[in-house]
Amino acid sequence: MSKSDASLKTADLCDIHEEHLQVCTPGFRHYGGKRAFHGPITTLKCFEDNSRVREQLELPGEGRVLLVDGGGSLRCALLGDVLAQKAVDNGWSGVVVHGCIRDAAEIGGMSLGVMALATNPRKSVKKGAGEVGVEVSFSGVGFRPDEWLYADEDGIVVLPHQAG
């Protein structure tokens, strides 16, 4: 990944790195105050339990993107305004949730990239379930820790960290 790629749009990245990148199937919506964001991925797999989401967002983000594979569940939210604020405070670039968020109006005012499938006011359970740092797959893309995720108005693309 070259430093100059950090300012490129997803469409430009597709043109430059067509043979290396993966493009998510459309379906994610923007909810955060930052409409374009990027960074190395931290992966998390959980289902209707956001305990591990909280744990990760309490750590220093260092410009990373937390990629949450919530199994596409629309029954509860895995991210709300309190956790989104932790992400802002701890230096995360963004959060992508293959599932739902809540507190969309508040999150929309934060300097954080947030993309998810939908909103749901119901909170998740908190049983400590989930796996961090595992390969996950959804929306036609296999996500691996430390790959680079770029998101903007055109969608989400992922580049392996050795591309470029």
Known binding-site positions: 80-83, 102-103
Q: Which two tokens stand for residue 91?
A: 């230096």
Binding-site residue numbers for Mg(2+) are 103
Binding-site residue numbers for substrate are 80-83, 102
Q: Distance between CA atoms of 101 and 79, rounded to whole angstroms?
A: 5
Alpha carbon separation from 31 to 36, 91, 144 (Å, rounded): 11, 18, 24
Closest by CA position to 40, among listed 155, 162, 157, 147: 147
Q: Where are the beta strands (DSSP E) in the chain?
A: 22-23, 29-30, 37-45, 65-69, 77-79, 94-101, 113-119, 131-132, 136-138, 141-143, 148-152, 155-159
